[in-house]
Amino acid sequence: QVQLQESGPGLVKPSETLSLTCTVSGGSISSYYWSWIRQPPGKGLEWIGYIYYSGSTNYNPSLKSRVTISVDTSKNQFSLKLSSVTAADTAVYYCARDRVFGAGYYYYGMDVWGQGTTVTVSS
Amino acid sequence: EIVLTQSPGTLSLSPGERATLSCRASQSVSSSYLAWYQQKPGQAPRLLIYGASSRATGIPDRFSGSGSGTDFTLTISRLEPEDFAVYYCQQYGSSPPHTFGQGTKLEIK
């Protein structure tokens, strides 16, 4: 079955760029949307953005100016970059498969999630 | 932006009881675009329900979803010990495509 694994630095300095990668195993990255979601300590879930395997993206307006999501289909990976981080960006970051189909006409939920990776922003 | 408000914030029940969790949207949401997730401490969320009422693969039938428009409900018919967790509703829409409710914590009474 499809599995997702996040990877990247667990500690990022303020004002720097947070970079994470999600590796898809057990299936192809093609034909799906792939999301990044984060969860600050003790708080709820915040959707960051998603990318279609073809490269089209959509971001949360609250983060749009700082976020870039990219995909590498040859490696079955997609990545997140969040620039100019502050302590408010400290969170567990999850990647997930997002079952959007038919140009957004059909939605079947985020059915596969990575285990999450903790990123702390601190000097 | 559609805001999802979940209630109650915390629900205290005993195993065997029925749980009813509410998710209210600030604007009408297509029932096709409403999902529910369960999250246990230290774990990633797990998809329970999509399309407001369709159970995801492997989800027991004691979990059911209903609702339309701005009011949606997740019902757990008979609570098992493993059901005590935090539950989130989520909608897929236009801008932004995804928003989550703030969560309902289901705790053992």
Nearest to A17, CA basis, from A79, A103, A96, A94: A79
pLDDT higher than 80, residue B109:
yes
Nearest to B84, CA basis, from B64, B109, B57: B109
Q: Using pLDDT thresholds of 50, 70 and 90, give the confidence band for residue B1.
A: confident
Q: Compare CB distances from A45 to B51, B54, B100 and report the shortest one's residue.
A: B100
Mean pLDDT score, A77-92: 98
Nearest to B6, CA basis, from B65, B64, B53, B72: B72
pLDDT at site A19: 98
Mean pLDDT score, A41-59: 96
Mean pLDDT score, B68-88: 97
Mean pLDDT score, B11-22: 98
**Chain B nearest C-alpha distance from A109 (Å):** 6
pLDDT higher than 90, residue A114:
yes
pLDDT at site A49: 96
Q: Using pLDDT thresholds of 50, 70 and 90, give the confidence band for residue A2.
A: very high
For chain A, the average pLDDT equals: 96
pLDDT at site A122: 97
Q: Chain B 33-62, CB below 8 Å of chain A: which residues? A: 33, 35, 37, 39, 43-47, 49-51, 54, 56-57
